[in-house]
């Protein structure tokens, strides 16, 4: 498995999580124009990256 690619996915997931936390904080403090679909887009992208990481990690466990 390409460990560099997996590290990039971990970094991307951390970046998406940070963006989502910032978006949620802005929403909590009542910023205007926060409910523009960004929340669902970030959550979807986060799921996709997490699923890819899980698949790569499962493959690593199976192959050794």
d(CA 6, CA 60): 11
Tens of pLDDT along the chain (64 residues)?
578 999 999 999 999 999 999 988 887 887 666 667 888 999 999 999 999 999 999 887 655 5
Domain locations along the chain: 3-63
Q: Is the pTM of this model over 0.75?
A: yes
Q: Using H for helix, E for strand and C for coil, what is the string for the chain?
A: CCHHHHHHHHHHHHHHHHHHHHHHHHHHCCCCCCCCCHHHHHHHHHHHHHHHHHHHHHHHHHHC
**The predicted structure's pLDDT at residue 62:** 59
């Amino acid at each position: 498995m390409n460990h560099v690619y997996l590290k990039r996915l971990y970094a991307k997931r951390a970046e998406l999580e940070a963006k989502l936390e910032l978006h949620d904080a802005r929403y909590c403090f009542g910023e205007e124009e926060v409910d523009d679909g960004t929340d669902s887009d970030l959550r979807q992208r986060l799921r996709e990256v997490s699923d890819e990481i899980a698949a790569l990690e499962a493959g690593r466990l199976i192959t050794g």
